[in-house]
Amino acid sequence: MQIKNLTLALMFSLLLSSATTPTQIERDKAVKFDEFGDIYSSDLKARLDNFAMNLTRQPKAKGFIMVYRSRRDIPGLNIQLAVRMKEYLINTRGLAKEIIVTVDGGVASSLIQELWIVPPNTAPIPREDSRIGYLTDPNEAWKFLDYGYPTPDEIRRFNMSNEYDVDDQYLEAFVEQVKKRKSNTACVIVYAQYNPKGELVDYLGDYEPVEATRLDPPGTAATRMLREVNVLIKQLGLSADRIRTIDGGYRKRRTIELWVVPGGEPLPVATPNSYPKGRRGASR
């Protein structure tokens, strides 16, 4: 009877050990928590909510957001998607920005977004099909990123307090690319908005669309352009002589384009697609 009880005790001890050991191992290495491609906003928020909940259970760990684009995607898509997820985790889920790390993973076989829980002294593992670098032949002007922008009035009305923070992170990644060559020039094209039919837009992503501005007043693009240039020079240290700006006229939605122009190459051409009477874009 004693031998039988001893055997049962040993078996129980082994089972308990096998059940707890993996948990300890998981705490000592970076763990890929989730992986997905291009998904709907509602699905993305649910995944980020789950990620935030699990990340808070490991107070010493950091959350890494790694984004890989396909070779057909615009180069700045990686940072755009990563920053938007980071801002959601900070502003909606209340996580400290110091524990969220965004990583531009470069190019992979397809668009992949990964969420990692990373304890101290560990690191996430890059994908085997990834490669760093944007273009194979960057000897002509190439567009790094484009994104929409609200007016200052819309930022106040809809309490979009973090909007400038997001855009400044785009500009920071843009400057990194411009500075890779001393001969590179940064070109910023800004379009104002003219939507003759009008439409509903969901500025906050909360499924509460509002009526969009039909026609922006004169100077809308120039005002926003000045702000981007000030950030490039004063915050990010890019010399003014390496910056060119183009007022692109009007599009159906306000848009900012960031272009990297190698030395000796012509500037990109603005492509307006909406034309209110008597108004034209100009470059300088």
Confidence category of residue 81, pLDDT binned at 50, 70, 90? very high
**What residues form DSSP beta bridges with 112?**
68
> Looking at the structure, do residues 141 and 88 belong to the same domain, yes or no?
no
129 and 150 inside one domain: no
pLDDT tens-digit series, residues 129-158 = 888 765 656 789 999 999 999 888 888 877
CB 215 within 8 A of CB 275: no
Confidence at residue 197, expressed as pLDDT on a 0 to 100 scale: 84
Q: Establish if 83 belongs to a structural domain.
A: yes
Instruction: Provide the CATH number for the domain around residue 72.
Output: 3.30.1330.60
**pLDDT, tens only, 242-279:** 999 999 999 999 999 999 999 999 999 999 999 998 66
Phi/psi-derived region of residue 212, left when phi > 0, alpha when psi is between -120 and 50, beta in every other case: beta
122 and 141 in a single domain? The answer is no
- Domain of 161, in residue numbers: 135-284
Decide the pairing of beta strands 142-147 and 112-118.
unpaired
In a domain, 142, yes or no: yes
Considering the entire predicted model, what is its pTM? 0.83
When divided into structural domains, the chain yields a total of: 2
Question: Are residues 98 and 208 both part of a single domain?
Answer: no
Contact 194, 132 (CB under 8 A): no
